[in-house]
Amino acid sequence: MTTTHNQDLILFEDHSLIPESIISGEESYSAIISHLQGTSPTWLINSLIENSIQNTATLVNNDLTVKQTGRSKTIFISFINNKDYYSKGCKKNGIDLNTVTDFTYIDCFTDLFTKRIKDPSKASSQVTSLFQELNEVISSQTGSRKVVFIEAPEILLRATNITSNELLNHLLQLNKTCRQLFIISAKDYPDLDAAMPEDPVFKVTDYFVKLLHRSSLHISIQPLLTGRANDITGSLIVSKGPISYKSINVSEKEYIFNITKDSNIKLFFR
């Protein structure tokens, strides 16, 4: 493994991660980052945040070296982590999220069920106002060059009575406020045969299938199917979604990657 040359991670055919043509374009697109138990996508998210803010990806791509300031307004919404988690993680990428002006963190984690949604069994209106607030924060950012990340919104399906369609509609509206939306979700144990609409498994599966149908890019991170390997952490699959990007093509590739304890990342083509 040590002899093979490690590769740069690229998502699009112009060798970029988040291309300029999408940020400056007119359309809105959605991308899914899905992961399974055992392979957390934090390292990838950190690199995408870095790329969105300043066009570099220090840890995963050696070609993207030119820093570009004011590239996009990056908004990060998380339902399972606080800002501290990402500001610590992004230090390795050479970014201090607390001082970057183009970065906005919306914490939907800390007080989600203590302030925002007090009654999860009747959550519809509270979820609606939560998403209204999110849309307002995103809209209040100047310009149209916006990239939004939303992490684990499916927790709302697992923890409250809202339906998958409600969440999907909220996400659709949210997506329209930005050029590129990255939806980060765990993909463990879907069941396409689920039949009870109130069952969280049904809701999450329905949510996932419908998201896949409206997406333009799908990045899937999972452990190796063959089991554990000491020098390989997992595999990363970049595939196009059913909806094509107007200006650019997705570079479909399967990588295997290795992360060391000090968060160094190496990628190889599979």
Partner 1 sequence: MASQNSVVLLTRLLSLKENSPLLLVLDSLAQSSYHLIQEFAYKSKNNIIYLSFETLNKPAYANEFLDCSVISTAEITKFIKSKTTPQTTSSTAQGKHLIIIDSFNYIPSTDITNFIASISEPSITIVGTFHINCPQPHNTSSYYPSALSLLSFIASSIFEVEAFHEHSIGEEQLSNRIRKLDIPISSALNSDVFKLTLTNRRKSGRSLIYTYKVDCKNHVYEVHKSNQAEEIDPEDESLLKDLTTFNLTTSNKQKLAREQVELPYMEAQEALGSSGGAIVYEFEKDDDYDEEDPYEDPF
Partner 2 sequence: MSFRKRSEVIGGGPTPQRGAPVSPIPGRGPVVPRGPISSLNRQIPARDAIRSPQSKSKDDLEAIMSNPAVRPSLITSQPTISTGASDLDKILLHQGLPLGHSLLLEESSTTDFSSVVLRAFVSQGVMHNRITKDKLHSHVIVAGVPSQWANDLPGLYKGSSKEQKKAKIAENESKVSVSNLSNRVASGRNDLKIAWRYGLNQKASGEEFGENSSYENYNNQFDITQKLTPGPSSQDISFVRISPNFGDIISQIEGIIKLQLKQDPSKTIRLVIPSLLNPTIYSPIFSAPTFIIPFIHTLRAQLRKYENSLSLIASICLELYPRDSSLTSTLEGLFDSVIHLQPFNQEMSQLIEKAYKNEPAKIQQGLVNIIKLPVLSEKGLMMIHDGEYAFKNGRKKFEIEEWGIPVEDVGKDEEQQTTKNIDF
Chain residues binding partner 2 by CB under 8 A are: 37-44, 80, 82, 84-85, 89, 109-114, 117-118, 120-121, 123, 152, 155, 158-161, 186, 188-189, 199-201, 204, 223, 227-228, 233-234, 259, 261, 263, 265
CB closer to partner 2 out of 103 and 202: 202
DSSP 3-state assignment of 143?
coil
Distance separating alpha carbons of residues 158 and 120, to the nearest angstrom: 10
Nearer to partner 1, 182 or 208 (CB): 208
Distance (Å, whole) CA 130 – CA 123: 10
The option from partner 1, partner 2, none interacting with 125 (CB < 5 to 8 A, set by class) reads none
Show the site string, 46-65: x = touches partner 1 by CB under 8 A, - = not: --------------------
Cβ proximity to partner 2, 21 vs 87, nearer residue: 87
Q: What DSSP letter does each residue of 161-215 carry, written as one string?
A: S--HHHHHHHHHHHHHTSSEEEEEEE--S--TT---TTSHHHHHHHHHHHHHHH-
Q: How many CA atoms lie within 13 A of 235 on its CB side?
A: 12
CA atoms within 13 A on the CB side of 26: 1
Give the footprint of partner 1 on this chain (CB under 8 A): 26-30, 34, 165, 168-169, 172-173, 175-176, 187, 190-197, 202, 205-206, 208-210, 212-214, 218, 220, 222, 237-244, 252-254
